[in-house]
């Protein structure tokens, strides 16, 4: 009996040791060990995160992420995913961070996630067809169809003003549905929409309202990563001071978007 018990005990000890050896590193440990950080992003949300003509993943958020990684001495593994699955993926620890113009504006997000120092500031815009005459303010969307990603800040805004939500995968699909007259409007980031209108002057779309309030977007992590986020925030501040963020803003938007 004693001999069998010893074998079982030794097996349990070996299993525990093995599990510990293969335990996943924390975000802070990966930063301190100069390892690889996994970052969730859409890859379809120009000019923040998209693929250029050569197929390379780029955009303001993507290049800021790469600049932060260089400051920290770590590598980045981008994981592209649809917006509505992104924060769920972060919560499920598929990613260490999300870099995709996320603002923690709802109590639910604030209870689950934390944000780094903002690396950009922008506001909401409401877009409709060029021949639209019914809408001049957000309240006018009541009862109209709004193409929105369900879990985004802008989806929350559309619900707040009692629009009928038509679920979409991202901004590109929302704009297409308006052009096809399958929806009436979409709320989205003013910088992204203005960039689209500039690149597509014959889109048949127009902005009908823009918010004066700007919201800061930063890197998003699960709760419990305060020390890691402090290191990331310090890198963001350094990039602002050395002019890197200004340079990237001018590259993708023609202006510095890192200041409020």
Q: What is the DSSP letter of 140?
A: G
Angle between helices 226-241 and 244-253 (to 10 degrees): 80
Digit-coded pLDDT (tens) for 190-235 = 999 999 999 999 999 999 999 999 999 999 999 999 999 999 999 9
Which of 114, 111, 254, 113 shows the shortest CA–CA distance to 194?
Answer: 254
Digit-coded pLDDT (tens) for 141-197 = 999 999 999 888 899 999 999 999 999 998 999 999 999 999 999 999 999 999 999
Residue linked to tokens 């938007």: 253
Q: Residue 12: which pLDDT band, with cuts at 50, 70 and 90?
A: very low
Compute how many other C-beta atoms are within 10 angstroms of the C-beta atom of residue 134: 11
Digit-coded pLDDT (tens) for 118-131 = 999 999 999 999 99
What's the mean pLDDT in 63-82? Answer: 97
The average confidence (pLDDT) of the chain is 90
What's the mean pLDDT in 77-83? Answer: 95
Residue linked to tokens 């991202």: 170
Digit-coded pLDDT (tens) for 21-37 = 345 789 999 999 999 99
């Amino acid at each position: 009996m004693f001999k069998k018990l010893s074998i079982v005990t030794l097996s349990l000890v070996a299993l525990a040791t093995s599990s510990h050896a293969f335990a996943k590193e924390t975000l802070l440990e990966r930063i301190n060990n100069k390892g690889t950080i996994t970052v969730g992003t859409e890859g379809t949300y120009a000019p923040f995160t998209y693929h250029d003509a050569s197929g390379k993943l780029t955009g303001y958020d993507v290049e800021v992420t790469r600049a932060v990684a260089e400051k920290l001495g770590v590598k980045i593994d981008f994981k592209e995913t649809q917006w509505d699955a992104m924060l769920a993926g972060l919560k499920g620890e598929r990613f260490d961070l999300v870099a995709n113009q996320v603002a923690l504006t709802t109590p639910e997000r604030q209870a689950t996630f934390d944000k780094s120092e903002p690396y950009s500031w922008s506001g909401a815009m409401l877009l409709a067809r060029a021949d639209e005459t019914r809408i001049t303010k957000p309240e006018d969307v009541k009862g109209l169809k709004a193409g929105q990603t369900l879990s985004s800040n802008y989806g929350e805004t559309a619900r707040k003003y009692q629009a009928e939500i038509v679920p979409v995968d991202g901004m590109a699909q929302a704009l297409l549905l308006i052009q096809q007259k399958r929806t009436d409007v979409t709320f989205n980031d003013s910088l992204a929409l203005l960039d689209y209108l500039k690149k597509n002057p014959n889109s048949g779309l127009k902005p009908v309202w823009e918010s004066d309030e700007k919201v800061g977007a930063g890197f998003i992590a699960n709760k419990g990563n305060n020390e890691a986020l402090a290191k990331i925030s310090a890198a963001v501040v350094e990039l602002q001071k050395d002019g890197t963020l200004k340079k990237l803003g001018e590259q993708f938007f023609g202006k510095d978007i890192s200041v409020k």
